[in-house]
Amino acid sequence: MSHDSRHDSSAGSSSAPRQPDVRRRRFLIAFGAGAAGAAAAAPAVAGPAAVVAQAAPEPQSTGYRETEHIRNYYASTRL
């Protein structure tokens, strides 16, 4: 790889460091602030949450139960 390929051709022959683009920085700051503001305002605009009826509690599990279906499966896996 040649040494010349690493130089920016638009910089010319001056070796001064590039100055930051102030307009671009202002745009990015404004964009970030706008996005943060929109994210903060979204829940307020959404309105009240829907009321969900309380579901009846499911019966407690009695644990592992070997049913006919399970026994058939175990029988099919034996050699």
Q: What is the pLDDT of residues 32-55, one digit of tens each?
A: 877 777 777 666 555 566 666 777
Q: Which residue has the higher pLDDT, 17 or 13?
A: 17
With residue 52 as reference, give the H or E element that holds it. none
C-beta atoms surrounding 53 within 10 Å? 5
Q: Could you tell me the pLDDT band of residue 77, with boundaries at 50, 70 and 90?
A: very high
Spans of all domains in the chain: 21-45
Q: What is the pLDDT of residue 72?
A: 94
pTM of the model: 0.27
